[in-house]
Structures are given as C-alpha cells and as structure tokens.
Amino acid sequence: MPARPLVVFDLDGTLADTAPDLIAILNGLLAEDGLPGMPVEQAGSLIGAGARALISRGFAGAGRELAPERLEALFERFLARYADAVCVETRLYPGVEATLDRLEAEGYAFAVCTNKPERHSLLLMDALGIAPRFAAICGRDTFAFCKPDPRHLEHTIARAGGVRDRAIMIGDSLTDIATAKAAGVPVIAVPFGYTDVPVAELDPDVVVEHFDAMAEAILRLLPPR
C-alpha cells in the first residue's frame, strides 16, 4: 500500500505562537541578573535556533556576554522552568485545526520536525490538544542530528511512516527552508513566525500568508493522488 502523503510542520512560529512563554522564561533569567527584559516583539530575531541561542542572544541584547559554562547552567534552568510553563500564553495560529481537518479528510498524515527538545515538544503538543493527530513529533534531541541537517527531516518522515517523495515541509525560517531543500522536499513558508529575514527572500516553493490558504497550497504541491 502506498505511503500516505505527509505534511511535516515546524512547531514554534509555524503551528503555534510560542513567543510569549519563551520570552517570559528568558526575561525571568535576565531579571535575576538585574538586566532588562526583552519585548516579545523582538522574538523574530531571538527564537528559532534553540534555547541556548535564545538565551545567548537575549543576554547579548542586554549587553552581557555569557561564558560557555554559565550558558549551560542557564540553559538547564531555562528547560526546567519551561517544562512547567510550556503553554501559558502559547496558542495555535488561527486556522491550524481547520487545516488539519481538511487535510486529514483528504488522506494526509502529519508530523512535527522541530529544534525544540522532544520533551517540551510533546508537552506542548499535548497541551494544545493536537498531539494525537501527529504520527511523529521529533525534537532536536530525538536523533543525533537536528535542523538544518536534512537527516532530521528524513528521519522524521521515516518515523511517521512516510516517504520523502510524498512529503512536504511547512516552516517559518531559513533553518526550515534550508533543511527541506537539502532533503529534496518541497517547502512552504509562513511569514508570521520567527525570522529576522522575510521568508519570501529565502526562496521557499510557496509563501502562505494565513492558514486559511494552507490546505489548498499543500494540495497543489503534494496532491493526495
């Protein structure tokens, strides 16, 4: 039996607006050092490369460079706190659930390929109420490599029971676009996520402005057959 067409989503900035909770944890760490917090509006330049980068960029933005051992200590504190507050203000982007409904009815399967740690990804997807709809939820530590290494996407596709030539990637950043291109998978970009460069300049196959148009774009690029 042929593999079902598979839609692989990034998580932060693609399926869900996680910036309020991520920036809140970061600002708590900054406050403990007597440093000013970062406005959530700066999330685009801070989020997307993982928690270590978020912390490093946040402290650098407040004028403080972190030694490697201090960064690791803050990283562990960040992860512990985030696990307890992974979905306080985080919300799915409008239209996500309707998109999943439409594509599911057409026979598509779903997966997540994210640089968020797997534990936090599972916690968040469960809190958002959509985890059971996904055949695989793979984080930065699920495998021995993570985006932009194309093997992260390739192994996510395999874990979800899909095949590369029947898969598509949806993301919000250069990391997602570069990963998909390296894996030979078509990629749709959304412009409302976390990137400091407009996604239209990063050469995705399509830019979809709102999830209301997502299902039709996926049906065109990856027909259900």
pLDDT tens profile 74-92: 999 999 999 999 999 999 9
Asked if 12 is an active-site residue, the reply is no
pLDDT at 133: 98
pLDDT reported for residue 27: 94
Residue 40 has what pLDDT? 84
Walk across the sheet containing 6-9 and list its strands. Answer: 136-138, 109-113, 6-9, 167-171, 187-189, 206-207
CA atoms of 152 and 222, how far apart (whole Å): 20
How confident is the model at residue 108, as a pLDDT? 98
Q: Look at strands 206-207 and 91-92 and give their pairing.
A: unpaired
The two structure tokens encoding residue 144: 């021995």
d(CA 164, CA 155): 10
* Distance between CA atoms of residues 168 and 222, nearest Å: 7
In the prediction, which pLDDT does 1 show? 60
Q: Of residues 10, 17, 21, 172, which has the active-site annotation?
A: 10
CA 206 to chain centre: 18
Provide the pLDDT for residue 62: 85
What domains, with CATH codes, occur in the chain? 6-17+90-221 (3.40.50.1000), 19-84 (1.10.150.240)
pLDDT at 48: 66
Partners of 168 in the β-ladder = 7
Q: What is the residue-level pLDDT of the chain in tens, covering all 225 positions?
A: 678 999 999 999 999 999 999 999 999 999 999 999 888 877 776 776 778 888 998 899 888 899 999 999 999 999 999 999 999 999 999 999 999 999 999 999 999 999 999 999 999 999 999 999 999 999 999 999 999 999 999 999 999 999 999 999 999 999 999 999 999 999 999 999 998 889 999 999 999 999 999 999 999 999 998
The pTM of the full predicted model, rounded to 2 decimals, is: 0.94
Using DSSP, state whether 144 is helix, strand or coil: coil
For β-strands 91-92 and 16-17, DSSP reports them as antiparallel
